[in-house]
A and B are shown apart, each in its own frame.
Chain A
Amino acid sequence: MSLHETLGEIFGDVFGYKDELSCDLGPSSVAGWDSIAQIAMVEALESHFDIRLTTDEMIEMTDVGAISEVLARHGVQE
């Protein structure tokens, strides 16, 4: 499964978001993407990719593009 597909699955599980993901898709465009949901998403990412994200990285992940960039730093590639 590609990173894009994995993120799509996690967005579906956490936010109930079923549409196509774009790089600039962020909290203002996804209902329910608040700080509480962000933690749920981060924990889903950590569990799936077996990584540990810092608080700064959590805050940095303000859209799909930023999530991909952070994950890339942890060796997670497309």
Chain B
Amino acid sequence: MASRSDMIVDLLEVSEEDLAVVSALTASVFNRVSHPRDTARLRWMLFANPDADEHIPKGWVLRSRGETVGFLGNVLRRLSFCGKDHVIAFTSDFVVTPEYRFHGLKLAKAFFDQGQLDYVACSTGNRNSIPVLRRLGACQIAGADEAALFVLNPAAIASYYLEKKAHGSAFAHAVLPRVLGAASWFKRRLWAESEGSHAIEVRGVARFDDDVDDLYERSHPPDKVTSCRDSMRLNWLFVDGPIDRPCTKIRSAYRDGKLCGYVVTQDRKLGKARLEYRGVRDVFCALDDRLTFAALARHLVQECLEDGMDCLEFENIPAVLISQLASHGAWRRRLAVNPFLLCSKGEDATLLPEKAEMWYLVNSDGDGGGWQ
């Protein structure tokens, strides 16, 4: 039986020297092979973050008898709201060895106790942990758990989901692709025929330049909580990271030669079936500029078809844009990620949910966890 001394666990600020051990811990807990790029990703996200502050911890580790048994990353991001800049902290890479799961509370408390910040936020894939987060003062943001999925190869998508759910049937294999395909293809054709504007040119770019600073300044909605999308931060997030990202692409949209929107995608192969998946990691334009958004989306669909992708998915975008994509033939997909939670310091938290849709808060995952 364990004695009290067995349970002594110290909470310490993470240092750069801890990162390799943290990566190994994460790999071990999630039964993966540890890789040097995991450490590089943590270093980039926490220590090379343009919004990092020397007075604010980059994260915390739990130590017991000299061993690291837990970690929580603290990723700072700049956002604007009602004309004011704020810094918000997102959790990343929360991990605790099974024997010490109880002590995860210490990490969570350290994160939520950052009274020097205006906001702290996290999302969870585990519904059971929602009471813990509520208990620690977080409030839930509704309406942020849908994605828009364009099914480009219905048979591949059906196989992937049936494999994933492991309860497929011959009937489902035979019928589902036809149903998905017929509906999706019909709507895509309808969309292509109904939106014929060619006033907007979409082309690939290697990195973000000053034009995007101007786009962000004139296009971000002042009444929404919006993460800062200037060229410095976007290049850090999507272009200059240490991770090999050959499948990350940026396309910019121009109206009369002037930048009016952009989209960032990343390709992945999912499951044993190696489903060709293209995910939209960030998309930005003026919220009322339906034409630019439609041009970007249409360009992506056409490009995906040419590239032989099985699907294209938009995540972290406002409900109004999900609806627009659904009207163009995308399927609404409920995300396994559970509602986003946010704790406000010094603000009226009840005002925030309607102001803080995922799109405005996090370009990419905020914590970079979605990157390969």
Size band of the A side of the interface? Answer: 20 to 34
A22 with B1: CB separation less than 8 A: yes
> What B residues does A14 contact at CB under 8 A?
none
- Map CB proximity to B onto A49-78 as digits: 1 under 8 Å, 0 otherwise: 000000110110011011000000000000
Question: Binding site of A, secondary structure by majority: helix, strand, loop or mixed?
Answer: helix
B7 with A55: CB separation less than 8 A: no
B102 within 8 A of A: yes
Please give the distance in Å from A67's CB to the nearest CB on chain B. 12
A55 with B131: CB separation less than 8 A: no
Size band of the B side of the interface? Answer: 20 to 34
What residue in chain B is nearest A34 (Cβ atoms)?
Answer: B101
Question: Binding site of B, secondary structure by majority: helix, strand, loop or mixed?
Answer: helix
Interface residues of A in 1-53 (CB under 8 A from B): 22, 24-29, 33-36, 38-40, 42-43
B102 with A29: CB separation less than 8 A: no
B104 within 8 A of A: yes
Q: Which residue of B1, B99, B132 is within 8 Å of A35 (Cβ)?
A: B132
> What B residues does A55 contact at CB under 8 A?
105, 109, 135-136
B104 with A35: CB separation less than 8 A: yes
B31 within 8 A of A: no
Please give the distance in Å from B140's CB to the nearest CB on chain A. 16
B299 within 8 A of A: no
- Map CB proximity to A onto B100-141 as digits: 1 under 8 Å, 0 otherwise: 011111101100000000000000000011011001100000
What are the 9 tightest A-B residue pairs by CB atom distance, in nearest-first order?
Answer: A34-B101, A27-B102, A28-B2, A35-B104, A35-B105, A62-B7, A36-B128, A39-B132, A39-B131
B interface vs A, CB < 8 Å? 1-4, 6-7, 99, 101-106, 108-109, 128-129, 131-132, 135-136
